[in-house]
Amino acid sequence: MSDLPTTEPGRTATAPTPDPLAEEVRTNRFTATALLATSALALALILAGLVTSLAAGDRTARPLALADLTSQHSAGPLLLGLGLLTLAVAPGLGILVTVARWLRAGDWRHSLLAALVVALLLGGALLG
């Protein structure tokens, strides 16, 4: 037997409707993968920053402003800062992946609400 849609003579074949549950599972899998990859990158950057700082003999913790991230002269604090920044960006990236999947599925209402959450996260990060 073939999986192709069959039609009666004189009728056109219609595409099968996508399973909403299967689409939601795929969306969750994409979001989980994005969050896992971002978290793994953040962990690698933080560990590299710690090892680099300890190898350079730097054993004191100093606050680091986001604006000062690029002006550091040693690699340890830079890697630590980038790792923490990556970790902070992970939830927003997860929501953006979900927005893209929902837009692809045609779920405009949920996409708009999730995009609003991303905008609020971005506004809070820029203002706070």
pLDDT of residue 32: 92
What's the whole-model pTM score?
0.69
- Tell me whether residue 119 is in a domain: yes
- Tell me whether residue 79 is in a domain: yes
- Tell me whether residue 17 is in a domain: no
Segments of the chain scoring below 50 in pLDDT = none
DSSP type of residue 128: -
Q: Which domain holds residue 96?
A: 22-127
Residues 6 or more apart from 6 whose CB is under 8 A from it? 13
pLDDT of residue 18: 66
- Tell me whether residue 2 is in a domain: no
pLDDT of residue 39: 94
pLDDT of residue 45: 94
- Tell me whether residue 51 is in a domain: yes
Are residues 45 and 120 in contact, defined by beta-carbon separation less than 8 angstroms? Answer: no
Are residues 108 and 100 in contact, defined by beta-carbon separation less than 8 angstroms? Answer: no
Q: How far is the first Cα of the chain from the last one, in angstroms, to the nearest whole number?
A: 62
Q: If DSSP codes are grouped into helix, strand and coil, which group holds residue 14? A: coil
Number of domains within the chain = 1
pLDDT of residue 66: 66
